[in-house]
Amino acid sequence: MLRFFKTLGCQKKPNVTDEDVVGLSISCAHMAFSYSYNFKIYAKDDKTLFTCDCSIDRNDYNDTRVSCENVQIDKRYFDLLIKILKTENITEKVFRYKKKINWLFVKDKTEYRITLFFNNKELKTASLHFEKVYDLLKQLAGLYATEVTYE
Expressed as residue numbers, the domain containing 37 is 21-98+107-150
Do the beta carbons of residue 110 and residue 19 sit within 8 Å?
no
Question: What is the number of structural domains in the chain?
Answer: 1
pLDDT of 120 = 93
Look at residue 90 and tell me if it is in a domain: yes
Look at residue 13 and tell me if it is in a domain: no
In this structure, the dihedral spanned by the alpha carbons of residues 133, 137, 142 and 147, taken in order and rounded to 10 degrees, is: -150
Please determine, for residue 83, whether its predicted confidence score (pLDDT) is greater than 70: yes
Look at residue 126 and tell me if it is in a domain: yes
Look at residue 74 and tell me if it is in a domain: yes
CATH number at residue 138: 3.30.1560
pLDDT of 101 = 72
Amino acid at 121: K
Looking at 27-41, 66-80, 119-133, which range is the least confident one?
Answer: 27-41
Three-class HEC string of the chain: CHHHHHHHCCCCCCCCCHHHEEEEEEEEECCCHHHCEEEEEEEECCEEEEEEEEEEEEECCEEEEEEEEEEEECHHHHHHHHHHHHHCCHHHHHHHCCCCCCCCCCCCCCEEEEEEEECCCCEEEECCCCHHHHHHHHHHHHHHCCEEEEC
Do the beta carbons of residue 124 and residue 25 sit within 8 Å?
no
pTM above 0.75, yes or no: yes
Look at residue 113 and tell me if it is in a domain: yes
**89-125 pLDDT, tens digit each:** 999 999 999 887 767 766 678 899 999 999 999 999 9
